[in-house]
Amino acid sequence: MDLKQLRALLAIAETGSVTRAAQLLHVVQPALSRQLRLLEDELGTALFDRTRHGMHLTDAGQVLVEHARRALRELDRARAEVVAPDTVTGTAAIGLLPSTSALLAGPLVRSLQARFPDLKARLTTGFAGHLQQWLENGEIDLALLYEPKPSALLDVQPLLDEKLYLVGPMSAGFRFDKAVALSDVASVKLIMPNPPHGLSMILEHACAVAGVRLNVVTETNSMQIQKELVAHGIGFTILPSAAIFDDVASERLSAAPITAPDLSRRIVLALPTTRRASIAVRSAANELRSLIEGIISRDGWPGARWLANS
């Protein structure tokens, strides 16, 4: 079993076709078929069911694909870590969630400039659904997402779980150390993101389980507008701590964690599987991962629990 065989396996699994996989990897089809045949012969089992509608993973193939993705990701990470900083060049287009950009953008750019002075970072913010679409379309190279639905187009690593908070004006008197029940949230007017939005989907599921119906009176595609309306006493909203930590510290807003039981979202680091990440992209991904781990370990991200090493 070698790297060429594993890359062939992943390409065929992602495209469902030896022909399209060969085009993706820029190799001739017979060579790719031979790599797959050698791999199946070595393992003594079929990895795909061949049908007239395409190549479909067997149970054994699915197991191997999951391990292959992890193995190649770790090898790519190791390669990026041993490369001398002054040899890392190129551009890394990084997608950040609006709720994390204030916390991460500045420290990430400073860290990348210090370690990789020839690397150019291009930062984009957007809701999770937009970021996933841009990632799959090749408009960005890596992104933080709410845990997306399983996709053969994405290589996903869970990074953290983060509590969600009911956010109100200072006059509401909410506190980080005093939780409110989801049933109590139903009694207030809410200002929420436009659907479809990852946060809204999390809340809809929690409310369906708890038999609670929220009173959403205003929707917006801007998190800043959400917070402005709350600060002016027009309503309340629900956001993660990273989005409102500075506002609470400056006594502009107040916030309390929601129990439903504990209501949280999972943030993952996602890279596309349809193209090989450059050294610049892998270096940026590693730096982003290390930055987030460091912030959480220093208690700089209230309500966040690190997952990647657990």
Contacts of 80 (CB under 8 A, 6+ apart): 88, 279, 282, 283, 285, 286
What is the CATH code for 86-160+266-306? 3.40.190.10
pLDDT at 72: 82
Domain ranges in the chain with CATH number 3.40.190.10: 86-160+266-306
- pLDDT more than 70, % of the chain: 95
Residue 136 has pLDDT above 90, yes or no: no
Give 309's pLDDT tier (boundaries 50, 70, 90): low
Residue 131 has pLDDT above 70, yes or no: yes
Task: Compute the radius of gyration of the chain from its Cα atoms.
Answer: 22
Ranges 46-55, 73-82, 109-118, 236-245: which has the least confidence: 73-82
Ranges 40-44, 83-87, 191-195: which has the least confidence: 83-87
Its CATH class, for the domain covering 162-264, is alpha beta
Q: What's the mean per-residue pLDDT of the chain? A: 89
Select 3-80's CATH number: 3.80.10.10, 3.40.190.10, 1.10.10.10, 3.10.20.310: 1.10.10.10
pLDDT at 86: 56
Give 80's pLDDT tier (boundaries 50, 70, 90): low
Domain ranges in the chain with CATH number 3.40.190.290: 162-264
pLDDT digits (tens, 9 = 90+) for 170-204: 999 999 999 999 999 999 999 998 776 677 778 88
Q: What residues form DSSP beta bridges with 98?
A: none
Domain ranges in the chain with CATH number 1.10.10.10: 3-80
Q: What are phi and psi of 199, to 5 degrees?
A: -65, -40
CA distance 12 to 18: 6
pLDDT at 82: 64
CA-closest candidate to residue 283, choices 83, 69, 70, 71: 83
pLDDT digits (tens, 9 = 90+) for 3-14: 889 989 999 998
Residue 240 has pLDDT above 70, yes or no: yes
pLDDT at 205: 83
pLDDT digits (tens, 9 = 90+) for 244-271: 988 999 999 999 999 877 788 899 999 9
Give 283's pLDDT tier (boundaries 50, 70, 90): very high
Whole-number Cα distances in Å, 286 to 88, 111, 267, 275: 13, 11, 15, 18
